[in-house]
Each structure stands twice: as structure tokens, then as C-alpha cells.
Structure 1
């Protein structure tokens, strides 16, 4: 690991704690550009893409090969705090024409395949069995580039009104959904949204009307609500062993060994290995078609607890 990473880690943690203290007071400006939680999020992304720059595993900000077990154990600790959508409240710099809203469509949140990043997978959110109806939209509208008056969830909409001779408005306005809901922070500029221009065969940032939907009163009483139930899937909870002799237990290379005992690599005819609780599950050296030893990440299952 690079020694310079340590100072970056401490700086991120310090900035995060500062932002959390401000958020606890109800100050959502911490997500604006140059403010603590904005900086903590962006710096942690830099840390994530430059975590282990050994040329055998990393190139140009991308992980190319599975990390060694001890490096992967640290990587997993860092990934444990990351979720799909955690950039949602960050301010969008409206001065850049190529930057648009975080969520132009719901697919990046609801499609399970986008949670897979090749060498790691983020947990899919847990949705309640019954979801409340979307509230009736308010009469508060803003346009891209205008200041956001309140911290809320906003809906991009298309506004249509019949006009006499194309000039004089007739009757009431017709409002229809025109994109994915987004969380907008007070004081920021309402963002554009990405749309595909078929005539030009390219994605463009388009100005939109935004309508106020959900009210958000969290944090104002000095309490950070516990919302962890939305980030832990039932499958993950079910995998936690209740007893040391749970022979159905399985873990992957790079994860922490939960039970001391003999572990066998699933799908490989190799002798089981004796591992101690708390150690990192190893990878496996397996010969390829040319009899060269190659590193494989494998699933280990417990065959005999110690």
C-alpha cells in the first residue's frame, strides 16, 4: 500500500465527521460543492479508484485483476460503506454543460446488473412489501438553472397549455412526468437531465421543469435516523452462521473467515485447508490448459468446524 494513502484516509474521515456534525444540526448545505460531505464523497471515490496501484492489478483508475487476499480484506472494509446512489444529494455544477442530474432514469437504481462492478458487488436495496403512493405534485415549479428553494425530492415534468392562435393561454396547465425523480438540495441550481437526441445520435443535457414532491424533515431534531434496514438484504442476513457447526456456510476469497476449521474450495478437487476465525479466506492456485499456475478466486465451504 502507498504510504500517502494514510494521510488521505485521515483527511476523509475528518471531513466526514465534520459534515455529520453539521448534518445533525439540520444543515444540508454539507452536500454542496466545497462543503464537508461533498468533499468526503469525492475524495473517497479518488481513494477507491487509486486504492492499490500495483501495475499487475491496476491501470488508469481501474482494477484489472483480483487483489491479493490481504489487500482485498482492506478493500472490502472500504467498500462496506459504499452504496448505489450515495451521490444522490451532491450538488451538480450547473456551469458545466456536460453535467446533468444524478438520475436521468431509474434503471441505474433498480436494475440489479448495475450493482456488479466486476470484482465486487454492491448490496441491492431492500424495499418494503408495500410502498406508499406517490404524492400528488405541488404547485411549486422551478426550471433548470434556477435556485432550488427547499430540500426535497423533485420530479421533472412536461408542462403543456393550449393557446389560442399560439399566443393566448387557454384553460389550465397539463402536467406530466418527464423523467426520474431526484433529490435536490436547497440553494443549488436545478440541474439539467440527460436525454438521447435521435436526430444527432448523441446524449445531450436538456433543461427541464421540476415539480416539488416529497417533503424531507429528517435531521432537523438533531437525530441521524437509522436507515440501515434499507441496505442489508435478507440473503446477507440469512448467511450469518447461528452455530459453529453450520456446514452450509460459504464465503469467498478475500472475505473474513467466520469459523475456525477445515474449508474446501467449491468445484475444485484439492485438499481442504485449515483456517482460523478472523483470517482472510485465501485464493487458489490452479493450473490452466498450459499447466501454468493461475490465481483463482473461489467459494470456500466449511467441511469440519474446529
Structure 2
């Protein structure tokens, strides 16, 4: 019944020492795992010298891949995930663990006002939270926070669903909601990151669209696609009514809009079935692991 801290790190030699020392001062932790994701600045060696367990990737595989490697290596029944860039404070770990002990399966550190990296990132995260809240029917305070505490057994059920890139927080949160697990949020304040950010504007923009799509497809695709299909249907029907009254004919645009509504609905229906199969597969893998 131990607690493992998993920290993915790529070229974070400047911030790793203070983070590890801060975590070592806490009594509640049993092991600190640094996943060195192909660093070239000696991040792994520094962590090892300070007494942390180091899992090394021979080359950079991505933040999500590092999370998966760390989760597999963790010995504790509870895992604390943190970023290595100095934004997350070790002092907040105890509060997240205490909240988990109140009957939750995952507790997420919800960044408060002024803790976002930029205005653009803050607006994007606000949109993510609103969409995720609509999809799940629960208030999602911070969908993309990488600071979270989870029960290892439950987290491992969804390991195959996690991407190797940066959107593992989104995937894991939506997966926990879909499975009916209990998720809570604990307010935190993040510091300014140390070192150079690995975020790039163009790539970040593409990821923004992918996360929006992932939010819908990971929980209930029909809840996202049906309103969109109805919007196109009513637009097509309305345009047909207008052209029928004014020109007494059925136009190609009306046909296109109505056909599009049908296609969107069918895509949502197929996505719903695929999503269900993904979670059925995760449940079967979990049952095999328990046996």
C-alpha cells in the first residue's frame, strides 16, 4: 500500500534537483520515479545521483509514453503524476493524497486563475473544460492538468488508450468518467516553468483540434455528433423551405446539407460502437491482470 511518484522528464536538469529534494522531504512517498525521455543534458544521471529511481528511454518517445513507462514501473498502489519543469509544488502532494483517501479514484490538481502558461492556453483549457463538462454531465475543472493522483490498478486499465504524446491527461480523465470512477479536483497554483518549453504554436494548434475531437470520441461520440447532425438537418430543411417558397424547387445545396447531416449521424453511430469496444477490451485486459 505504497505511494509512487512518476515524473516524465526531458532535458529538465535545471529543475529536477529541487523537485526531487522537495519530494524526498515528504513522509507519505515510498518511491520517486524519473522517466528520462531521451534527455541529452544528464537529467537521468542527476536524478539517479539524488536517489531517485530512473527509467530511461533510449530516445524521446513522448510525454504519454513516459507516463506509461513510469506507471508500469511503479510499485505503489497509488501513483502521483507530476511535471518535471518546476511548475508543480511537492507541498501540494499531501492535499491530493488526502482527497484521494476520501473515496475518490482520481484527484486532479486544478490550476487556479493566473496559473496558465499564457492567455491562449488559458482560453483553450477553458473550452476543453466546458466541452468535457457537457459530455460527462460532471463539472470538469481542469481537463489537461498533468498533476494528478490515481489508483494504479484503475489507471493501468486504460494504459492502451493513452497516446504517446501530450494529451494523456485528457484521455485518462475521460476514460475514468466513462468507466464510472470517481474524479475530484483540488485547487493548486502552478509556478513559472523552468527551462525552455517543448510546446510549439503550430503543433499546439493542431493538438487543440485533436483534443476537442478526442473529448467527444472518448466519452460518448453520439452526444457530440447528434446535435451537429441536427444542426445540418434543420439548416438543410430550412433552406429547402426557403427555395421551395421563392423558387418552387429543391436545390443542390439543400441536398448537400441534408446528406451531410445523415453522414455526421452515421459517423457518430459508428464512433459510439468503436468507443464501446475499446472499453470492453480494457475491461477484459483488467480481468486478465487480476487473475
- What interval of TM-score do these two structures reach, taking the shorter chain for normalisation? under 0.3
So what's the TM-score if we normalise by structure 2?
0.23
So what's the TM-score if we normalise by structure 1?
0.22
- Structure (1 or 2) with the larger CA radius of gyration: 1
Greater share of residues in strand: 1
Greater share of residues in helix: 2
